[in-house]
Amino acid sequence: MATLIIEPTKKTPEINFNAEAGQLSLTGMSCSENALGFYQPIYQWLDENASIFPEGTTFLLKLKYYNTSSAKCILELLDKIASISSKNTPISITWDIDGDDDMRESAENYSSIIDYPIEIIG
């Protein structure tokens, strides 16, 4: 399947991944107490579809809130995107912080940990 769409809930984000269009986005809240259960299918989808990402593929994050259970999962997700980028098609990561200074700090911290550029907007 070349698309992965997960509707948002009060504690999980909206996922809209389209492999053929090269557009990946994660938006909303990520505050599930079992974040790993939510993110594991996303990792699996990325593994299965990374080979068909076209040139110019983008990954957009726009998170209102995330809890600490999600923090590790977001790191693994970003790490996976960076890894796909180095092995397959380059992917540009953009983080829309919506004017939130704490979120800017988070985005910069993740970029430093995965050693991969994250463009910060908003």
Nearest CA-CA partner of 95 in 61, 49, 47, 44? 61
The only residue of 44, 51, 88, 109 in contact with another protein, by rule CB under 8 A: 109
In the complex, what is the shortest distance from the CB of residue 29 to another protein, in angstroms, rounded to a whole number?
10
Pairing of strands 91-96, 23-30: unpaired
List residues bridging with 15 in a β-sheet. Answer: 6, 26
Using CB under 8 A as the binding rule, whether residue 77 contacts another protein is answered as no
Backbone angles phi, psi at 102, to 5 degrees: -65, -40
Contact with another protein (CB under 8 A): which of 6, 21, 60, 75?
A: 75
Q: Which of 2, 5, 52, 113 binds another protein (CB under 8 A)?
A: 113
Question: Is residue 78 within the footprint of another protein (CB under 8 A)?
Answer: no
Cα(58)–Cα(14) distance, integer angstroms: 16
108 touches another protein (CB under 8 A): no
